[in-house]
Amino acid sequence: MYLWFKLLHIFFIISWFAGLFYLPRIYVNLAQVEAGNRSEYQRLLGMSERLFKFMTPLGIAAVLTGFTIPFINGWWGMGWVHTKVTLGVILLAYHFYCYRILLDFKEDRNRYSHKWFRVFNEIPVLIMIAALYLVVFKPF
């Protein structure tokens, strides 16, 4: 049973992270669209909306399978699991903040530069590195 949940978790994590990496990249492009270019802005906005709708169920499935695995293996009492779950909660917050940004773009209220979005785009990378370290080395 554990291996099936592990397989599903890895699949959902890879898929969700693809969206978490790409959505802010679209935001970089949206932030760079010139004010008069409504067609380009609408095209990128549509891409953002469709991607967010696609990646949300993947994120939910990743979190659900990620919460299930420690119970199956009896790992729930281990410190590294609590830290990894905390990272998962931070990713969820990041995901929903991406939605907040999407709403701002829809209402032409973006307040960030394309440079800000380039930095914002690196947050999931850092969280992934930390989570992989925890899973592989189980340090505490």
Q: What is the pLDDT along the chain (140 residues), one digit of tens a residue?
A: 999 999 999 999 999 999 999 999 999 999 999 989 999 999 999 999 999 999 999 999 999 999 999 999 999 999 999 999 999 999 999 999 999 999 999 999 999 999 999 999 999 999 999 999 999 999 99
As a dihedral over the C-alpha atoms of residue 83, residue 87, residue 89, residue 94, rounded to 10 degrees, the angle is 160
Binding residue numbers for heme: 9, 84
Sorted by sequence, the CB contacts under 8 Å of residue 25 that are 6+ apart come out as 117, 121
- CA 56 – CA 26 distance, rounded (Å): 16
Residue 10 has a pLDDT of 98
Residue 79 has a pLDDT of 94
Residue 27 has a pLDDT of 98
Residue 61 has a pLDDT of 98
Instruction: Give me the domain span that covers residue 103.
Output: 2-137
Sorted by sequence, the CB contacts under 8 Å of residue 45 that are 6+ apart come out as 30, 105, 106
Binding residue numbers: 9, 84
Query: How many domains, the chain?
Result: 1
